[in-house]
Structure 1
Amino acid sequence: MEEHHDSSLDDFFRDYAKKSIPKDPKIGKMYSVALPSNVTGMEVSVVHLQSSSVWAKGANLGYFQVPPRIIPKPNVTWLDIVFSNLGNWSSYYYEIPNYTFVTPILGFSAYGVSHSRGKNGDFTSKTTKLDLPLIRDPIMVRFPSVWFPRGKCVKFYSNGRTTITNMSLSHTCEVWGQGYFAIVVRVPPSHQVWKLWVIGFGVGTIGFLLCGLVLLKIIRCLEKRKIQNMEKQSEKSEVLDTKYVGNSRMPCACGIRTQPVLENDYFP
């Protein structure tokens, strides 16, 4: 799979982290890194650790759970770990074909810190990118709440390798090195989206027509029943008799004819 990691991103975060951490930092304290305004939405922090402490106990560092028994290479006494949350810049720096991000991309990088005294007597510090070989357990990356439960872990390792794996735990990815990590879900290719849209449109149209036919049938049944009720009411209130002429029912008056009466029985 093609690698989209920009190594200058690590350098960018390292430089600003170096400016933000104090000269005598507290061990284990997370320091927020001030970034320029043109990358609003990113969040970066840095923590100063003792290598021997990480070896003995590991470290719980926000989204990252670092296991014990890690010896940095090259071996150093102190190390700074820089954490990043790319936020709404995630899809700008990284892209996975047929997948979309459902979490921001989280990353971390470890740097060895060495101090030296300059000619003028001032102390200067130098940072060196470290490897963190994992002996037994992976680093656990716990993401903020994920709206999609069946996502996969995508891992952009610093060595150029990219992998996509299942989540071992809810909202959590196991990683075996430094880099940038996120949870993604698969999306169908564009021609499949078009196909699904056409199928959905066809099914919707057929459903609409069927609903129309059913409604028309109901209206006709109601009209027929109304006519039948009117006929029954008419039959109950009829004064005239009725009879059938062909297939039609017609009113019919009783045949009463006045008999002629002679004024007298005398005929001339």
Structure 2
Amino acid sequence: MESKTTFIIKLVTFYCLCTLNLFNAIDIYHNDSLDDFLQDHAKKSIPKDPKAGKLYDVSLPSNFTGMEVSVVQLQSSSVWAQGANLSYFRVPPRIYPNPNVTWLDLVFSNLGNWSSYYYNMPNYTFVTPILGISAYGVRHAKGQNGQFTSTTTKLDLPLIRHPIMVRFPSVWLPRGKCVKFYSNGRTTITNMSLSHTCEVWGQGYFAIVARVPSTHHVWKLWVIGFGVGCVGFLLCGFVLFKIIRFVEKRKIQKMETESEKSEVLDTKYVGHSKMPCAFGIRTQPVLETDYFP
């Protein structure tokens, strides 16, 4: 059996490791290194001999469940001539990365349920998850020892004629506001030109948002709804009352008609009034003998 001292040492070690992992997670959640974090894992997920244009899933730590990241490697000349239609993004042609590289990596991210951890929009609510696109170039250089070293650089994608089209999945609001998040914390909001799609100029993180009504507006809508509901309830009650009265009236009329059909009475004038009169008795009474005693 373990001694008490050994047990305490293990418990303290476990606590320190958990605390260290928690601090690392918090640092990733709230600092500006999201691009570097995703790019680092994307670089590890690309095989040594990748196939150009093939989309590779990026493996993330288990505590990032719900976030989806993929990466694709393309030739700069191919992007210039044809563009790229991958994941949720349609990259137009006539784009040449800066600085100039032969190959570039496009990292696509869907933050999913992590969207609100990284970004916040006061007075707005997210209609879609946040989608991101980032471009990186790999430069290979030969060192003094004859070994090749590679360095990764974030690229700029200057758009000349057409914007990047971002099509969002699972949008319950076809038309909302397009928002772009910059690394320096700045945001821009634009109108949607196409259903479920945002036109963006440059790389970054994007989402569709809808404005949240103010408390005064919500209270006003609630009062209006309550009033309309009361009026509708009273109107329904009035209509139901009229229908019941109409049915009862028809029922009484039907009963009177049936009663008149079952017993036909003659009519006679009494003064100036016409009154019902029963028919005479068919058999007249006859005395048993015509002689009196």
> Under a length normalisation based on structure 1, what TM-score does the superposition of the two structures give?
0.78
**2:30/2:118 contact within 8 Å kept:** yes
- 1:222 Cα offset (Å): 2.1
Separation of aligned partners in 2, 1:197 and 1:161: 35
Say if 1:78 and 1:239 are closer, same or farther in 2 by CA, change over 3 A: closer
Alignment match, 1:94: 119
Separation of aligned partners in 1, 2:55 and 2:183: 23
Alignment of 1:113-192 (within 5 A): 113-116=138-141, 123-144=148-169, 146-158=171-183, 160-192=185-217
Separation of aligned partners in 2, 1:140 and 1:172: 7
Letter in 1 for 2:230: T
Alignment match, 1:49: 74
Alignment match, 1:84: 109
User: SS at 1:131's partner residue?
Assistant: coil
Pick 1 or 2: higher relative contact order, CA cutoff 8 A, min separation 6. Answer: 1
Separation of aligned partners in 2, 1:87 and 1:17: 17
Alignment of 1:212-227 (within 5 A): 212-227=237-252
Letter in 2 for 1:28: G
Alignment match, 1:205: 230
- 1:17 Cα offset (Å): 0.8
**1:55/1:68 contact within 8 Å kept:** yes
Alignment match, 1:20: 45
- 1:218 Cα offset (Å): 1.8
Separation of aligned partners in 1, 2:53 and 2:43: 16
Task: Give the gaps of 5 or more residues in structure 1.
Answer: 244-249
Say if 1:190 and 1:123 are closer, same or farther in 2 by CA, change over 3 A: farther
Is residue 40 of structure 1 aligned with residue 71 of structure 2? no
- 1:97 Cα offset (Å): 3.1
- The total of aligned residue pairs comes to 256
- 1:83 Cα offset (Å): 0.8
Letter in 1 for 2:199: E
- 1:156 Cα offset (Å): 1.6
Letter in 2 for 1:68: P
CA distances 1:103-149 after superposition (whole Å, capped 9, x unpaired): 22210111221234678876543212222222222222222353322
Say if 1:43 and 1:172 are closer, same or farther in 2 by CA, change over 3 A: same
**1:87/1:104 contact within 8 Å kept:** yes
Is residue 59 of structure 1 aligned with residue 84 of structure 2? yes
Separation of aligned partners in 2, 1:5 and 1:55: 35
Say if 1:109 and 1:159 are closer, same or farther in 2 by CA, change over 3 A: farther
Say if 1:86 and 1:178 are closer, same or farther in 2 by CA, change over 3 A: same
Say if 1:35 and 1:125 are closer, same or farther in 2 by CA, change over 3 A: same
Alignment match, 1:105: 130
Separation of aligned partners in 2, 1:134 and 1:230: 86
Say if 1:92 and 1:198 are closer, same or farther in 2 by CA, change over 3 A: farther
CA distances 1:179-221 after superposition (whole Å, capped 9, x unpaired): 1112233342233223212321221122112111221122122
Separation of aligned partners in 1, 2:120 and 2:267: 86
Say if 1:236 and 1:9 are closer, same or farther in 2 by CA, change over 3 A: same
**1:158/1:177 contact within 8 Å kept:** no
Is residue 71 of structure 1 aligned with residue 87 of structure 2? no
Alignment match, 1:234: 259
Task: Give the gaps of 5 or more residues in structure 2.
Answer: 1-28, 269-274, 286-291
Say if 1:159 and 1:55 are closer, same or farther in 2 by CA, change over 3 A: farther
**2:137/2:152 contact within 8 Å kept:** yes
User: SS at 2:151's partner residue?
Assistant: strand
Bigger fraction of residues in helix: 2
Separation of aligned partners in 1, 2:131 and 2:125: 15
